[in-house]
Amino acid sequence: MLEIKQLKKSYGGRTVVDIKSLNIRAGETVGLVGNNGAGKTTMFRMLLDLIRPDSGEVLSKDQNVANNDHWKDYTASYLDEGFLIDYLTPEEYFIFIGGLHHLSVADVADYLKQYDEFFNGEILNRGKYIRDFSKGNQNKVGIAAALMQKPELLVLDEPFANLDPTTQIRLKTLIKSLKATHRLTTLISSHDLNHVTDVCDRIILLEKGLVIKDFHTDENTLKELEAYFAE
């Protein structure tokens, strides 16, 4: 699904990302962990062609993401509030995003019904612009909009941050079920080791831009990670 080759990015002489080679297969749920400054977000931005790498390339279905837009057909992402058009109402935003994927207004409304539980009645028909929502609720809008695009590849940056516990659990269930039903490939970064080990079947540990560890999760993973971060 995704292939990263010799990917490098540095700012002011400081290397932020330096990944020799990384393969992500279709249907994998991959968790990216690492302290602040490990390069998680920068890597995601290069995956989504928002930052030009100093060298190396990101291939999505064997095509370089920087050269054409095909990856946008099957990739959905939510990194931060910068992805939301914050002066729209959530309804307008969903309709706009849906429109980009040829969903009619009715399709969008229909789709959103299944998220009633996820939204917990706090998102739709509240008479507010997205900018007036709390950070957690903005997150929900961003994540729901990403999922609405029926992606094959989903990229989420710290999706659990700012979410209330109920929604955190619901999000985990959602990702797991999409993996089972649609063979969704997911990339998640998180500081919450519990959640990542729970939802992901592969963990990549980054430190100062380098891949330190790359392994499949089992019952010892959480302990291992905690031990690493406690050092």
Q: What are the residues binding another protein (CB under 8 A)?
A: 45, 48-52, 69, 72-73, 75, 77, 79-89, 91-92, 95-97, 99-101, 127-129, 132
Phi, psi of 119 (to 5 degrees): -75, -25
Q: Answer whether 1's CB lies under 8 Å from 24's CB.
A: yes
In whole angstroms, how close is the CB of 53 to another protein at the nearest point? 10
In whole angstroms, how close is the CB of 72 to another protein at the nearest point? 4
194-201: long-range contacts, CB 8 A cutoff, minimum separation 24: 194/222, 195/160, 195/168, 196/31, 196/33, 197/31, 197/221, 197/222, 197/225, 198/172, 199/29, 199/31, 199/172, 199/175, 200/29, 200/30, 200/31, 201/28, 201/29, 201/30
* Cβ distance to another protein smaller for residue 105 or 180: 105
* Cβ distance to another protein smaller for residue 53 or 209: 53
In whole angstroms, how close is the CB of 50 to another protein at the nearest point? 6
* Cβ distance to another protein smaller for residue 96 or 229: 96
* Cβ distance to another protein smaller for residue 13 or 82: 82
Positions of E strands within 1-146? 2-11, 14-24, 29-33, 55-60, 63-64, 75-78
In whole angstroms, how close is the CB of 216 to another protein at the nearest point? 29
- Tokens linked to 93: 């935003």
In whole angstroms, how close is the CB of 66 to another protein at the nearest point? 9
* Cβ distance to another protein smaller for residue 79 or 205: 79
- Tokens linked to 214: 């790359």
* Cβ distance to another protein smaller for residue 86 or 164: 86
**What residues have CB less than 8 Å from 78, skipping those under 6 apart?**
139, 142, 143, 145, 146, 155, 156, 157, 159
In whole angstroms, how close is the CB of 71 to another protein at the nearest point? 10
